[in-house]
Amino acid sequence: MNKSTIFLLVLATFLFTFNACDPSKKTVKTPTTDMPEMEIDDGMIEVIFLQMNDVYEIAPLEGGKVGGLARVATIREQLLEENPHVITVLAGDFLNPSLIGTLKYEGERIKGKHIVETMNAMKVDLVTVGNHEFDLDEDELQARINESNFEWVVANVLQKDTAGNLSPFAKRIEGSEPQNFPETYQLNLTDEDGTNVSIGILSVCLDANKRDYVHYDEVFESAIQAYGQMKPETDFIVGLTHLNVEDDLELAKKLPLPLIMGGHDHDNMYHEVGTSKVAKADANAKTVYVHRLSFNKKTGTVKVNSELVAINDQIEEDEEVAEVVNKWNSIADKSMRDAGFDPNETITTLKEPLDGREKTMRNGPTNMGEMITNAMLKAAPKSVAAFFNSGSVRLDDFLKGAITQVDIIRTLPFGGSIVEVEMSGELLHEILVVGRENAGTGGYLQLQKIEYIEADDIWKVNGKTLNPTTTYRVALTDFLLTGLEKDLDFLTRDNPEIFKIYEAEKGDMDDLRGDVRRAIIDYLQK
């Protein structure tokens, strides 16, 4: 062996030994068995967030064409094959409103039990609260929290007792210590080559549902404080929020969050604010967002690649989750058929979407309100006008495309009958004034054949100025005669200004006034 060959062998041995002793290196096996172990130090780690928001229905919609949580579960399993670090999140609003939630099972209202069981089967990792979680009474919400296997996080929402004392909401299992909802959440992940990352998750919710047992701190102050607490202990922080999109965009201006996964708005959207991305999927899992985050440990930079994935009938259902969904569908189907409905019958195909969102219906007239009041007048043709309280519509979404009977039942899950009332013009005027003042609440009235002329401060019924001394026959939903709607406590059956009430006889299925939903189905079919 010549001197040159010996020198090269010695040099190679030295370099190999030096690198092997460097503790900053990470070692992985190469595919070739006869090669020595290769040492890498890419400092890169990737994580996937699977985002849902505003999910009220567990089963596919629009005749089975879109949505369905068993299909989302399949997407999750596919992502796990790509990367073991898949974090499935829901950005608020899932316990209410839903058709199944209004039904009874084993003697109790379901009130979100069905969706918690489904989310558990999906292995959802993390949720934040939305305003609709607080539609439930305190004991109902506590029961759903206790049943959940996933984690909860929120920085600005606290539980308030009757004395006004504040504490975090908590999972309370008998025999165990309460598990408080944390203000912040931290993910610590390590990939195959040993690269680790600590990700902070910041969560806030808008104060759109004020209940006696709920306290809201200011959104931006809470978010900034939470960010400051997490920043020293994390590599980067993302948002999981339930806010109006305008507030999400403002949050992105205030804090350097590479990604904000938001809820509350029901249509998919994707905004860029500087280096921040704000994403919302479509309600009811008609779409989900898949966010692939790549973190460079050496530079501290995060790259976000977001993909909006349509959930449709081309995706197979996860068998385990589908079994849970089918269980609850069977419960709901029996209940609806017992009430005389054919849930899966297609009744019409809409040319334009009907707007049943709370933020529109509770603040002004909508085409959804117009459709319902038209159906009421068709069922009660002797009435000169019709109205109902916007809060009876619990869809909080658009109806679009092919419409089945179950879509109408979802829209008005509490049903109720149509009553025709002969009342004085004075009482009708008082009702209309309160209904208009109730803007922003469920007590805002959707009207038909009635209009308010603001410039003259007058009401018109059927094109003529309302006369306090005239008797009017109007159609309204029976709930409004209970006196339980906001500031309409005077509207009861025994009000002296109500002269006569006409309504369907109990059990008369031919009289469409017996159930406003059957009246709507008949109206749309014809």
CATH code where residue 479 lies: 3.90.780.10
**Whether 352 and 434 share a structural domain:** yes
Say whether the peptide bond before residue 258 is cis (omega within 30 degrees of 0): no
**Whether 239 and 200 share a structural domain:** yes
| CA atoms of 174 and 203, how far apart (whole Å) | 28
CATH of residue 154's domain is: 3.60.21.10
| CA atoms of 440 and 148, how far apart (whole Å) | 32
| Burial grade of 153 (CB within 10 A; 0-12, 13-18, 19 or more) | buried
85: number of CA atoms within 13 Å, CB side?
20
**Whether 348 and 474 share a structural domain:** yes
- In a domain? residue 301: yes
**Whether 370 and 448 share a structural domain:** yes
Q: How far is CA 521 from CA 361, 515, 525, in A?
A: 20, 10, 6
- In a domain? residue 192: yes
**Whether 27 and 69 share a structural domain:** no
| CA atoms of 456 and 404, how far apart (whole Å) | 43
Structure token pair of residue 179: 């598990």
**Whether 318 and 447 share a structural domain:** no
- In a domain? residue 319: yes
Give the model's pLDDT for residue 268.
94
Contact 248, 193 (CB under 8 A): no
164: which residues sit within 8 A by CB, 6+ positions away? Answer: none
**Whether 317 and 364 share a structural domain:** no
**Whether 300 and 423 share a structural domain:** no
- SS3 call for 521: helix
- In a domain? residue 333: no
Give the model's pLDDT for residue 6.
39
**Whether 23 and 49 share a structural domain:** no
- In a domain? residue 443: yes
For the chain, 526 residues long, give each residue's pLDDT as a single digit of tens. 444 443 334 334 433 333 333 333 222 222 333 333 444 657 899 999 999 999 999 999 877 889 999 999 999 999 999 999 999 999 999 999 888 998 888 888 899 999 999 999 999 999 999 999 999 999 999 999 999 999 999 999 999 999 999 999 999 998 899 999 999 999 999 998 889 999 999 999 999 888 999 999 999 999 999 999 999 999 999 999 999 999 999 999 999 999 999 999 888 999 999 999 999 999 999 999 999 999 999 999 999 999 999 999 999 999 999 999 999 999 999 888 988 899 889 999 999 999 998 889 999 999 999 999 999 999 999 999 999 999 899 887 889 899 999 999 989 988 899 999 999 999 999 999 999 999 988 899 999 999 999 999 999 999 999 999 999 999 999 999 999 898 999 999 999 999 999 999 988 889 999 999 999 999 999 8
- In a domain? residue 332: no
Residue 199 one-letter amino acid: I
Other Cβ atoms closer than 10 A to 192: 9
**Whether 121 and 251 share a structural domain:** yes
Contact 160, 213 (CB under 8 A): yes
**Whether 417 and 461 share a structural domain:** yes
The last residue of one of the domains, among 289, 324, 359, is 324
Q: Into how many domains does the chain fold? A: 3
515: which residues sit within 8 A by CB, 6+ positions away? Answer: 339, 340, 415, 416, 417
98: which residues sit within 8 A by CB, 6+ positions away? Answer: 56, 57, 112, 114, 115, 410, 413
Helices (H), strands (E): how many in the chain? Answer: 13, 33
- In a domain? residue 391: yes
| CA atoms of 519 and 416, how far apart (whole Å) | 11
Give the model's pLDDT for residue 41.
56
Sign of the alpha-carbon dihedral angle for 194, 195, 198, 199: negative
Residue 223 structural domain: 44-324
- In a domain? residue 182: yes
Give the model's pLDDT for residue 109.
87
Bridge partners (DSSP) of residue 109 are 104
Of 50, 47, 46, give the one whose Cα is nearest residue 281.
50
Contact 36, 75 (CB under 8 A): no
**Whether 118 and 174 share a structural domain:** yes
The last residue of one of the domains, among 293, 324, 355, is 324
Give the model's pLDDT for residue 507.
83
455: which residues sit within 8 A by CB, 6+ positions away? Answer: none
